[in-house]
Chain A
Amino acid sequence: MSVFIIRRLLQAALIVFIMSLIVFFGVNVIGDPVYMLVSPDADQADIEKAIERLGLNLPIYEQYFKFLNGAWQGDLGDSFVFGEPALKLILHHMPATFELAFTALAMAIVIGIPLGLYSGLYPEQKISKGIMAGSILGFSLPTFWVGLMLIMLFAVMLGWLPSTGRGDTAKLFGLQTSLFTLDGLSHVILPALNLALLKISLAIRLTRSGVREAMGQDYVKFARAKGLNTSRIILVHVMKNIMIPVVTVMGLEFGSLVAFSVVTESIFAWPGMGKLLIDAILQLDRPIVVAYLMIIVLFFVVINLIVDIIYSILDPRVRLQDQGA
């Protein structure tokens, strides 16, 4: 087990290192951030000074070594635009993104599983067909388009919910979050729903196929034969068997929610990491782009590792070692 973990950690380190190379050199090819940053009034000498201050006068490999050297000590460089450490800025924006992704995930489970259950139990009913058609729509609708429609409908036309931004935050367990204030909750509903749409469809489909498969299984037939009533069969026996895989898969989607929040955040002016990334890309704030991608790579590598370990605990048939090697 520990050999496995050490090996995987080494692999993760290698991946992060390779990514840092690709990302750092890749990002440094496009455009020239200085012209994005200097005031138009600046003359040639001012521009040269700015280049020096940002460290862009050094050859690219020296910049990379400087970056590596800093990264080793937990310093991913200072943002060109904000002048503060990129890591600090990203960590600062992280809670907002996580609470958005978390709310979306909760919505997907709460809305998706009951709908999936229904359409799985009564596949021939009109409502079920409607649910399935809706789930295809959910897959197909572009997120950005839906976001706009949500703003138009609920904020502008009906005036029920605020259109953009994050609400008041409160401190809970040392974290600033907007999920425990009324204002905060009212702000999070629309963007979270927007983000959740795809995952609701996913939850519907997973639950539906799970239910359909389970209903054909022997244990359900036995239960029926024993004369148990239908709702008990469904709630106790079927649900117990399908909930674990469905919730596991949905949990794995958390990472994808964090990544996809880029779109939602930029429409709803949600001050999360995704919006920070898009702004950084558009403004050529290279240190932030590099730091964001490094953190996200690390994030996914760690998630994968945890998943593998959990699987091995749950299912003893999976052996924790690299096959073949």
Chain B
Amino acid sequence: MTMKKALFGVAAIAAFAAAAPVQAEKLIIGLASEPTAIDPHYHNLGPNNALSRHIFDRLINQDEKQRLKPGLATSWKPIDDLTWEFKLRPGVKYHDGSEFNADDVVCSFKRAPDVPNSPSSFATYTKGKTVVKVDNLTVHFKTAQPYPLMGNDVSTVPIVSDSAGCNAATEDYNSGKAAIGTGPFKFVSYKPGESIVLSRNDNYWGDKPVWTELHLRSIKSGPSRVAALLAGDVDMIAGVPTTDIETLKSNKKLQLSQGVSNRVIYLHLDQFRENSPFVKANGGGEIKNPLLDVRVRKAISMAINRDAIVDRVMEGVAIKAGQLLPEGFFGVSSKLEPVAYDPKGAKGLLAAAGYPDGFEMTIHSPNDRYINDAKIAEAIGQMLTRIGIKTAVETMPRSVYFSRASKGAKGLPEFSFILVGWGAGSGEASSPLKSLIHTYDKSKGFGSSNRGRYSDPAVDAVIEEALRTVDDAKRQDLLAKATEMAIENVAIIPTHFQVNTWAAKKGLKYIARTDEYTLAIGVLKE
């Protein structure tokens, strides 16, 4: 990462803004999913992380394109192979008036991975790192091996106060007692299932938000959320259903913001079983798993009409995909294009592989996880059926789907051909490569979501090398190379990147984020 000096101009603007007369500016946002706690370390999941960005800061912030920007740290750099030095921002105050310093960082990194009852901890980002206080405004992060992704990992962990937050329980945060951060908003009230109310932190060190009062309401049902916006009960909503985008666009009282996300929707294929449970010969007999043949995998990819998926199923609100992350992200390849739709060529490849009449297969998909997931699976089933692979479609709620897809029978993935999505939380290509493409390896923590069990030692080697390379340019090339190798081999079949849509009253503009978060600080007045 290139190290950037903090823009001290920000402080000047902030000072100017503070001089303006205080005006009550209330913003009500309708969220699609509800945060499960105020405690920023309790649940490492999208809605919670989005909420915690309002009340708490991180050492490093991710901007709307997930690029790293100074947060509570003004600069960070490796001082040797195994040590990163972070310089902390001076003069930052918590909501309770106490001063931010290195002790807060040390104790936050201690608390984050180990909150009692936590269903999903931050250990993923804190493990292998030792945090040492050097002086009040300097900390060192030490690792056992060279670790280039330090900045990305550190940018995910919220900093809580040593005095008020580190020894508090999740309940204390939810009651507001411990919900004391350095962030742009202060905690006011929390009613689970109903609303979260925050107010502006007038002493915030960075860009102060326009909004003096912020209400976050969760309205899970899509149409109800849109109805709430149309009725004027909320000022902005996240997660606009694709079906409503067209109508909302033509509504003069509203304004839409759209942005591509870091989430790729892709197909995983069983590449480790000689007989795959959901692949059968025509008529239902046993068959040697055709998905082991790269020609068959290519044929499937060519049979998928990505334009039809984007235009018809996603109503134009998606971008067809040829790799793991959309253009502009760190580590993507400039050579890869989405595979073109070619049903004739696909049939030819199937025939060449020895399946002129195709075979039978089932595609499994969740029906409540990704935008239009079940419909996409159905469309893919239709397309494959047309080239002779008679595809049944089975969709299920994610509560059942993910456990079966990850470890169904005997701890192995249960399905043969699945539709899944992957959002790169780190904002660069090592995240999907490590989890989806690398050989499944429990001891090293690789391939944890490799549900097709694709395995290629050559690709593994490139990925592992990239994960050791601190030099940004070199690492970028290695990640791109690994992606190209995997896509060439059809390790997975990417279909499209999700595009997220927010809708707001006229006069409000939301800066769309690739990480799909809804942040009040990104809601601007025009």
Interface residues of A (CB under 8 A from B): 30-47, 49-50, 53-54, 78, 80-84, 89, 92-93, 96, 148, 151-152, 155-156, 159, 162-166, 266-269, 271, 275-276, 279, 282-284
Task: Give 1 or 0 for each of B227-240: 1 = CB within 8 Å of chain A CB.
Answer: 11011110000000
Q: List residues of chain B with CB within 8 A of the CB of A148.
A: 223
Q: Which interface class (under 10, 10 to 19, 20 to 34, 35 or more) fits B? A: 35 or more
> Could you say which of A54, A78, A80, A163 contacts B233, with CB atoms under 8 Å apart?
A163
Asked if residues B224 and A30 are in contact (CB atoms below 8 Å), the reply is: no
Q: How far is the CB of B115 from chain A (nearest CB, A)?
A: 8
Tell whether A164 pairs with B425 under 8 Å between CB atoms, given A36-B398, A49-B121, A83-B42: no
> Could you say which of A43, A80, A267 contacts B445, with CB atoms under 8 Å apart?
A43
Q: Is B399 interfacial (CB-CB < 8 Å)?
A: yes
Asked if residues A35 and B118 are in contact (CB atoms below 8 Å), the reply is: no
Tell whether A282 pairs with B399 under 8 Å between CB atoms, given A40-B422, A42-B124, A155-B227: yes
Task: Give 1 or 0 for each of B168-193: 1 = CB within 8 Å of chain A CB.
Answer: 00110010000000000000000111
Task: Give 1 or 0 for each of B26-45: 1 = CB within 8 Å of chain A CB.
Answer: 00000000001101001111
Asked if residues A41 and B118 are in contact (CB atoms below 8 Å), the reply is: no
Asked if residues A50 and B227 are in contact (CB atoms below 8 Å), the reply is: no
Asked if residues A271 and B231 are in contact (CB atoms below 8 Å), the reply is: no
Asked if residues A152 and B227 are in contact (CB atoms below 8 Å), the reply is: yes
Asked if residues A44 and B442 are in contact (CB atoms below 8 Å), the reply is: yes
Q: List residues of chain A with CB within 8 A of the CB of B449.
A: 40
Residue of A nearest to B224 (CB): A164
Tell whether A31 pairs with B403 under 8 Å between CB atoms, given A39-B124, A40-B435, A50-B118: yes
Q: List residues of chain A with CB within 8 A of the CB of B219.
A: 164-165, 269
Query: How far is B42's CA from A53's CA once the two chains are assembled, in angstroms?
Result: 12
Asked if residues A165 and B228 are in contact (CB atoms below 8 Å), the reply is: yes
Asked if residues B119 and A267 are in contact (CB atoms below 8 Å), the reply is: no
Q: Is B272 interfacial (CB-CB < 8 Å)?
A: no
> Could you say which of B45, B124, B171 contacts A46, with CB atoms under 8 Å apart?
B124
Q: List residues of chain B with CB within 8 A of the CB of A283.
A: 399
Q: Is B120 interfacial (CB-CB < 8 Å)?
A: yes
- Specify which of A34, A40, A50, A166 lies most central, judged by the most chain B CB atoms within 10 Å of its CB: A40
> Could you say which of B42, B217, B231, B448 contacts A44, with CB atoms under 8 Å apart?
B448
Query: How far is B39's CA from A274's CA once the two chains are assembled, in angstroms?
Result: 25
Q: Is B431 interfacial (CB-CB < 8 Å)?
A: yes
Asked if residues A50 and B399 are in contact (CB atoms below 8 Å), the reply is: no
Residue of A nearest to B422 (CB): A40
Query: How far is B224's CA from A162's CA once the two chains are assembled, in angstroms?
Result: 11
Asked if residues A50 and B231 are in contact (CB atoms below 8 Å), the reply is: no
8 Å CB contacts to A: which residues of B172-224?
A: 174, 191-195, 217-221, 223-224
Q: Is B91 interfacial (CB-CB < 8 Å)?
A: no
Q: List residues of chain A with CB within 8 A of the CB of B43.
A: 37, 81, 83
Q: List residues of chain B with CB within 8 A of the CB of A36.
A: 398-399, 402
